[in-house]
């Protein structure tokens, strides 16, 4: 009898760089990319949290860390150079780093507005520009931007965040057309309310402003999802990693909601 053949992981030795990777969705993405055989660089601002994430993922495969602020172009260039020195050209980029500020529009100051654009939109731009030459050089690449349902519809009291995430969706579509014949795909995944630190902060904000209990505030957010629950980071990661697969080469310029049906394309 012939011995059973082991199947090579679909992303074997591909170098994936994930921003905002020390926790939440970014950590779950890294975990699933490693399971597919990728070599993963975790990028973030907190070195201690990154090192903790690296240590907890090390048993799954090759993983390294680089620190830097995606809103600062020189930080991104330095971090990406360090990542290449360890694992070679970047094949896969997952732009997950992000922040949200909740404020009534007429009380939103310019500093908060600029911060939302810098981290959520300009940071995505910096990382895409830094990674793209590698992908074009080898005529293969995957860019997945973790946007939000806030990039597809409006939400009250997070106008700057909505504007930035709408910008990420537009940027995704524009670049996807530019590289469509060059072996590179660019897509976005748009989670609804997901069990992450951003949602924990939103719950705390609701409690502070409304007097709801934490459980009531969580239920309030979960009600937006037709399934009546918060999305889990692993579910978002599953969509991201699917878009990175060789078999997803015809998926390009899309913004895919992961939200239990809250947003449906018309």
pLDDT tens-digit readout, 132-179: 999 999 999 999 999 999 999 999 999 999 999 999 999 999 999 999
CA distances from 145 to 89, 168, 224, 256 (A): 19, 7, 22, 10
The active-site residue out of 27, 155, 157, 161 is 161
Element (H, E) at 51: helix 47-57
First to last CA, the chain: 53
CB-based contacts of 24, cutoff 8 Å, min separation 6: 194, 196, 197, 198, 233
Q: pLDDT band for position 214 (50/70/90)?
A: confident
Q: Do 61 and 32 meet the contact criterion of CB atoms below 8 Å apart?
A: no
- CATH hierarchy code of domain 15-192+232-258: 3.40.50.720
pTM: 0.92
How many angstroms separate the most distant Cα atoms in the chain? Answer: 74
Q: Can you give the residue ranges of every domain in the chain?
A: 15-192+232-258, 194-230
Q: Is the pLDDT of residue 201 over 90?
A: no
Active site residue 193: no
Q: Are strands 141-146 and 92-95 parallel, antiparallel or unpaired?
A: parallel
């Amino acid at each position: 009898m012939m011995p059973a053949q082991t199947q090579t992981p679909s992303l074997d030795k591909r170098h994936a760089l994930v921003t905002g990777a020390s926790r939440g969705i970014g950590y779950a993405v890294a975990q699933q990319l490693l399971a597919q055989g990728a070599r993963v660089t975790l990028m973030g601002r907190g070195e201690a949290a990154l090192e903790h994430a690296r240590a907890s993922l090390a048993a799954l495969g090759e993983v390294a860390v680089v620190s830097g602020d995606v809103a600062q172009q020189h930080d991104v260039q330095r971090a990406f150079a360090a990542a290449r020195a360890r694992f070679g050209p970047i094949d896969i980029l997952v732009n997950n780093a992000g922040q949200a500020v909740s404020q009534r529009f007429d009380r939103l100051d310019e500093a908060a507005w600029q911060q939302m654009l810098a981290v959520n939109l300009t940071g995505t731009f910096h990382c895409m520009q830094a990674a793209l030459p590698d992908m074009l050089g080898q005529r293969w690449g995957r860019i997945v931007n973790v946007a939000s349902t806030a990039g597809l519809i409006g939400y009250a009291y997070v106008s700057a965040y909505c504007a930035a995430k709408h910008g990420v969706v537009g940027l995704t579509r524009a670049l996807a057309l530019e590289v469509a014949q060059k072996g590179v795909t660019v897509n976005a995944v748009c989670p609804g309310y997901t069990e992450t630190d951003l949602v924990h902060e939103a719950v705390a904000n609701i409690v502070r402003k409304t007097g709801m209990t934490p459980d009531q505030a969580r239920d309030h957010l979960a009600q937006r999802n037709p399934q009546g629950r918060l999305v889990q980071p692993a579910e978002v990661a599953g969509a991201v990693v699917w878009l990175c697969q060789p078999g997803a080469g015809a998926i390009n310029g899309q913004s895919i909601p992961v939200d239990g049906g809250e947003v449906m394309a018309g």
